[in-house]
Amino acid sequence: MKKTIKKVMIIDDNEFDCYITSALIESINPDIEIMEFNSSKLALEYLMENLEKVDKLPDILFIDIYMPVMDGFEFIQKYNQIPIVLRQKVKLCVTSTTIDDFHVKKMKSDVKVLFASKPISREFLEPLLAK
């Protein structure tokens, strides 16, 4: 049975990309709660602070690869060190405009991580988010 997505976290330093992704998610399923973070460091802190509060955690997390301070690769390394309870609940989806085959292959090699090119398409999101 497919898990119902109730909460989504978007981590992207580009506010326009956050807006586009949020609007698309909302058009697919307006009942989904959307959290936006422009800093992967702050997003990771939020997740750590709410480990015990499952209702505050997202069901799926979209993270951009290239960001200042902590990029998507570093975020995933730190994310993989946190308790398994969180990792079992939250599905990761890496997003990027990259055309660098090395980075795309690196992300796609992890079967637990989804990969989507930006801008994220309706065709990619609908199977994940539809009611």
Would 1 be classed as within a structural domain? no
The pTM for the full model equals: 0.88
Question: Residue 9 and residue 123: Cα distance in Å, rounded?
Answer: 19
- The answer to which of 27-36, 90-99, 109-118, 121-130 has the lowest mean pLDDT is 109-118
Enclosing H/E stretch for 46 = helix 40-49
Query: What number of residues does the chain have?
Result: 131
The answer for residues whose C-beta is within 8 angstroms of residue 20's C-beta and 6 or more apart is: 119, 120
pLDDT-derived band at 99 (thresholds 50, 70, 90) equals: low
Would 102 be classed as within a structural domain? yes
Give the model's pLDDT for residue 33: 97
Would 27 be classed as within a structural domain? yes
- The pLDDT of residue 98 is above 70: no
Would 2 be classed as within a structural domain? no
Q: Which of 24-33, 86-95, 108-117 has the highest mean pLDDT?
A: 24-33
Question: Residue 53 and residue 74: Cα distance in Å, rounded?
Answer: 24
Q: Which structural domain, as residue segments, surrounds residue 46?
A: 7-129
pLDDT-derived band at 1 (thresholds 50, 70, 90) equals: very low
Per the omega criterion (within 30 degrees of 0), is the bond before 119 cis? yes
Give the model's pLDDT for residue 84: 81
Give the model's pLDDT for residue 126: 92
Would 61 be classed as within a structural domain? yes
- As for how many domains the chain has, the answer is 1
| Mean pLDDT of the region 60-73 | 88
CATH number of the domain encompassing residue 124: 3.40.50.2300
- Rounded alpha-carbon distances, angstroms, from residue 18 to 77, 78, 127, 130: 22, 22, 20, 19
